[in-house]
Every structure is written in C-alpha cells, then in structure tokens.
C-alpha cells in the first residue's frame, strides 16, 4: 500500500472544494474529487481521481467510495464540502426547498461519512472535515434562515462523528466560515471580493486539520473575513 495519504473532497469542481483539492495535491496527498459533472474537469491522472458524485443520488456516493478505494487502496481524510444555499426565510421555504437543502447539506454528508468510516478507522490517522458555516452557529438574517437550519444540522453531524471516533482515533472537525469569495459567497454579499476570506485560506485550514495528530483534536473552527461580535 502506498504511503501517500488519500482524501475525498465533495463538491471539488469549484470554489472551496477545488481549492482544498489543489492544496492537498500540492502537499503530496492523493485526492479523489467528487463532482456532479466529471467531464467538465481535466481527466483523472496520477494522484488525482475525478469521480461522479451527486448528493441527490445515493448510488453515486457508493460508486465514488468504491472507485476511490479501488484506485488508491486506502482513505485517510473525508472532506464534506459540497453544499447549496437557497436564500429563503423559514417562513417562505417550501417543503421542496427544505428537502433539497437537507438532502445536499445534511443527508448526503451523513451517508458519505457512514460509507467512509470503516476505511477511516483502518487508516493510521482518519479524519473528517465538514464545511458548515457561521450560519451553523448563529442566524444573522431572515434570508439565511433556511440555510442556517441545515448548517446547524451538519455542525451536529460533525460533533456526532467526533464522538463516534473517540476510541478509534478518527477525528472530526467542522469549519464555520462567514463569507468566502466563491460563487456562493459573492452571490450573497457585495463587498470587494478581495476583502472576503479566500477559498485558499479555507484550504489551508483544512490541510492543517487533516495533518494534526489525534492528540490535538479541534472540534470547530469559526472563520470570519473581518471581526464580528462573537466570531
């Protein structure tokens, strides 16, 4: 078995996920990118595997896991990054808005963690890093409240995984950014993108967390592009 560690990154086609994949590859990891449209990315080569993953299609999660293990033979890190934001209040949201938001932001991450767990337990230092949001810590506006519901839930998923890994040494960390300069972040706010947290900044944090020993377990990392009252 190769010594090189292996990470799976969901939603690695653009934004934060693409930055995480690039950073890990540069640092010598082997990376399996889970994306909805693999044909839009350059094809798999060397340490970079591109697989189809759609959070709305549970069968694609299983295939992505199988393809990753078949290609690399191990899994050290799972990065639960893919996510959506429907800018509706909890009063406006339809059942469909709720179901879609929870399917992508909560249910699929939970299924992926379940599939990955046995492999992470076999790894010398299995890690799960989840992208929640500061909207998973506080509700800042009416329009972010549906999204916040799901981000509170996925924050709890990460804490649940952290508890599950206590004995085996699999560590789970949740990252909670404010606005990041990606398609999602820029659609929601108007400041100069250069003043926001950059996707590469989040990638640096994820890389650091994946590298930490099990004796330096970090449960949550809130990240703000400026300074907020609490965060």
Ligand X SMILES: NC(=O)c1ccc[n+]([C@@H]2O[C@H](COP(=O)([O-])OP(=O)(O)OC[C@H]3O[C@@H](n4cnc5c(N)ncnc54)[C@H](OP(=O)(O)O)[C@@H]3O)[C@@H](O)[C@H]2O)c1
The binding site for ligand X (CB under 6 A) comprises 11, 13-17, 36-37, 53-56, 81-85, 104, 131, 133, 177, 179-180, 182-185
Cβ distance to ligand X smaller for residue 6 or 82? 82
Alpha-carbon distance of 28 to 112, in angstroms, equals: 23
Active site residue 147: yes
Cβ distance to ligand X smaller for residue 169 or 193? 193
**Tokens, residue 126:** 């299995």
Closest distance to ligand X from the beta carbon of 170 (Å): 21
- Residues paired with residue 112 on neighbouring β-strands, in sequence order: none
Candidate list 53, 147, 179, 225, residue with the active-site label: 147
Cβ distance to ligand X smaller for residue 56 or 90? 56
Closest distance to ligand X from the beta carbon of 13 (Å): 4
Cβ distance to ligand X smaller for residue 28 or 160? 160
Closest distance to ligand X from the beta carbon of 103 (Å): 8
Q: Write out the catalytic residue numbers.
A: 147
């Amino acid at each position: 078995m190769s010594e090189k560690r292996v990470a799976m990154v969901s939603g690695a086609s653009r934004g934060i996920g693409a930055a995480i994949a690039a950073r890990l590859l540069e640092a010598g990891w082997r990376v399996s990118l889970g994306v909805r449209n693999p044909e839009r990315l350059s094809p798999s080569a060397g340490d970079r595997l591109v697989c189809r993953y759609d959070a709305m299609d549970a069968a694609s999660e299983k295939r992505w896991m199988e393809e990753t293990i078949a290609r690399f033979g191990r899994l050290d890190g799972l990065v639960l990054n893919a996510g959506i934001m429907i800018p509706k209040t909890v009063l406006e949201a339809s059942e469909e808005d709720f179901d879609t938001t929870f399917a992508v932001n909560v249910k699929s991450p939970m299924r992926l963690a379940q599939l990955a767990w046995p492999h992470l337990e076999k790894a010398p230092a299995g890690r799960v890093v989840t992208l929640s949001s500061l909207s998973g810590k506080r509700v800042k506006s009416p329009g972010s409240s549906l999204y916040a519901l799901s981000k509170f839930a996925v924050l709890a998923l990460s804490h649940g995984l952290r508890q599950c890994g206590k004995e085996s040494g699999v560590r789970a960390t949740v990252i909670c950014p404010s606005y990041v300069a990606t398609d999602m972040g820029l659609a929601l706010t108007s400041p100069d993108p250069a003043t926001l947290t950059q996707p590469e900044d989040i990638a640096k944090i994820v890389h650091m967390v994946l590298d930490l020993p099990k004796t330096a377990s970090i449960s949550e990392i809130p990240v703000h592009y400026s300074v907020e009252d609490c965060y």
